[in-house]
Structure 1
Amino acid sequence: MINRVVLVGRMTKDPELRRTAQGDAVTSFTLAVNRNFTSRDGQQQADFINCVVWRKPA
């Protein structure tokens, strides 16, 4: 079984593509996802999610 998550947000910077010693592709990036509510002072808050993608999807 494969777990699937869909996150909608903004990339905080360009993705970084690397290769392992075996030649597998690895891409890492950070995604800023807004929360559905605001804080008490009316500010919109966001969570910053570190993502790592391996092999073909990378």
Structure 2
Amino acid sequence: MFSRQQLLEAVWEHSYHGDIRLVDACVKRLRYKLDEGRSPRYVQTVRGFGYRFGTS
């Protein structure tokens, strides 16, 4: 599992102080590409925390 902040720091460098919702927008686009419009399979939301990656 990864928090939104962890993803921001890993992808946009830890000095980035932007809007944390940027992660949500990027995950939405990633989901669309990976899951081809079906229900989230590879990138799952962990409510109140962030995201996890898996195949379940």
TM bucket, shorter chain: under 0.3
Rg (Cα) greater in structure:
1
Please give the TM-score of this superposition, normalised by the length of structure 1.
0.21
Q: Identify the structure with bigger relative contact order (alpha carbons < 8 Å, sequence gap 6+).
A: 2
Q: Which TM-score applies when normalising by structure 2?
A: 0.21
Q: Which has the higher strand share?
A: 1
